[in-house]
Chain A
Amino acid sequence: MSPEHRSPILRNALAIGAATGAYALSFGALSVAAGLTVPQTVALSLLMFTGGSQFALVLTLGAGGGWVPASGSAALLGFRNAFYGLRIAELLGRPRGWRRLLTAQFTIDETTAMALGQEEPAASRYAFWATGLSVYVLWGAGTLAGALGAQLLPDPRALGLDAAAPAAFLALLAPRLRGREPWLVAALAVAVALLLVPVVPAGVPVLVAGLVAVAVGLRGTP
């Protein structure tokens, strides 16, 4: 790959890392506020390394849930990464051995979206690792800063960080909404998830929304 092809990918990777780093500040602060220690909070970001699951885990613990619902909701929310893994395995030529173990750790929303957005395999591989390293470092650093600054930082809501999170998801979603079927799936998923919010435990509406994709995919595939 030529440097002209690499530099826009690297720019995007750093921008995504910076955005998730800012998001990590609020995760670190919210986690400590929920009763986790700084080492526990940072361990989640370095080891679990999948934002939605981390939020689900600390917010469940903070709401008084025990280790069963806390780890269960994190697992349910993290299950989507298995399907990102399917795409990454295609794009990165099915890595083996230790390389597969490392690739697995970096298989998250941001790296999958960036790898999928490229037009050739070499660019996908570069985008995956550039985004993975950028997000890993800045997600970890942001978490540590947020956890340490939890007492000093004003209410994350006052900074609008709770609106930044869904906007980031929307920005990842928007490029996929081309054609009638993606719009249909997105609309159905939103409707199902919101209807379920009051009646099922946190984390479950997202999973059921995933079933919408499975149902449409089963019906619509020739």
Chain B
Amino acid sequence: MSIWLAVGLGTLACYLAKLAGLSLPARVLERPRVRHIAALLPIALLAALTALQTVSTGSRLVIDARLAGVAAGAVALLLRAPFIVVVAVAAGTAALIRVLN
């Protein structure tokens, strides 16, 4: 029962966040400062999510095959590989390293 409660409340909160962004008055959006922050926010969040999912597990920092996988993905990005190839290279590299170990 408490799992459904978590699912319900979490879903409601996430939906309201999405809706709030779409519903704020236009004059709020027209401020250069808000515009600037909104452009920088995804950069900060995506950078943090990339780093956290690469080298953290729960509340610990962990160096494992994920780091090599993401590094290989970064090389693919520098070579202008398409999105799906970048993701596949990262997964394949991490899987290969685990097999070799």
Contacts and interface: CB of A to CB of B under 8 A. Distances in A.
A71 interface: yes
Contacts of A165: 53
A83 B19 contact: no
A108 B41 CA distance: 13
Contacts of A80: 17, 41-42, 45
B47 A185 contact: yes
A86 B34 contact: yes
A53 B92 CA distance: 25
Interface residues of B, number: 75
B77 A170 contact: yes
A159 interface: yes
A12 B19 contact: no
Nearest to B37: A217
A190 interface: yes
A105 interface: yes
Interface SS of chain B: helix, strand, loop or mixed? helix
A76 B73 CA distance: 28
Nearest to A60: B6
Interface core residue of A199, A212, A222 (most chain B CB under 10 Å): A212
A176 B43 contact: yes
B3 A112 contact: no
A191 to B, nearest CB: 9
Contacts of A105: 15, 18
A211 to B, nearest CB: 8
26 contacts: A15-B82, A35-B3, A57-B6, A61-B6, A67-B5, A74-B13, A78-B14, A85-B22, A109-B46, A112-B42, A113-B42, A157-B98, A162-B53, A163-B68, A163-B91, A164-B90, A164-B94, A169-B49, A169-B53, A173-B46, A189-B48, A194-B55, A197-B56, A212-B44, A213-B41, A214-B37
Given A94-B26, A103-B22, 19 more contacts: A12-B83, A57-B7, A78-B13, A80-B41, A100-B23, A104-B19, A109-B42, A164-B88, A166-B52, A166-B70, A177-B43, A186-B43, A194-B55, A197-B52, A198-B60, A206-B48, A209-B45, A214-B41, A217-B39
